[in-house]
Amino acid sequence: MSQVRLLTAPFDPARELAAFTAAHPEAGGVVSFLGQVRVGDGVEALELKHYEPLTLPAMKDLASRVRGRWDLDGLLLVHRSGVMAPGEPIVLVAAAARHRRDAFAAADYAMDHLKSESWFWKREKAGGEWRWIEPRDQDFEDIARWG
């Protein structure tokens, strides 16, 4: 079972992860990744924009690919859009599996693909000015390792 949500309001990662873990008591391992807006470097805000007819279906397609590749009991993808303050969560990926290696690999793959096949446009506010953030070379290297 996959849970895929695209939100415009803040979410509580601890509550999300607790509910996900409780829903999969048969799992021997639950692996999670939480991405949040960095504090520091003068960052005042982060904004993620997206094209609604594409984003959620693409996230669901990604979840289906992950589920087809690893033996999972559950998969959770939660992603924010809109303006976020430093310290706020942006993305939560969690994978539950009977065996830890499947959970680790699935969460890693999902996060690399969310980051590199991003259906989001990201900009950052610092010093009162907004600037667009382009993907880094590392993002493309991360996704390339999956073949």
Q: Provide the whole-model pTM.
A: 0.92
| 117: confidence class by pLDDT, cuts 50, 70, 90 | confident
| Rounded Cα–Cα distance for residues 104 and 25 (Å) | 17
Q: What is the mean pLDDT of the chain?
A: 93
In a 10 Å sphere around its CB, with 0-12 CB exposed, 13-18 middle and 19+ buried, how is residue 26 labelled?
A: exposed
pLDDT in tens, 56-81: 999 999 999 999 999 999 999 999 99
The closest alpha carbon to 80, from 10, 19, 12, 139, belongs to 10
For 111-128, what is the mean pLDDT? 87
Domains and CATH numbers, the chain: 2-144 (3.90.1170.40)
User: Taking 70 as the threshold, does the pLDDT of residue 23 lie above it?
Assistant: yes
For 26-32, what is the mean pLDDT? 96
User: Taking 70 as the threshold, does the pLDDT of residue 118 lie above it?
Assistant: no
User: Taking 90 as the threshold, does the pLDDT of residue 116 lie above it?
Assistant: no
The percent of residues above 70 in pLDDT, for the chain, comes to 99
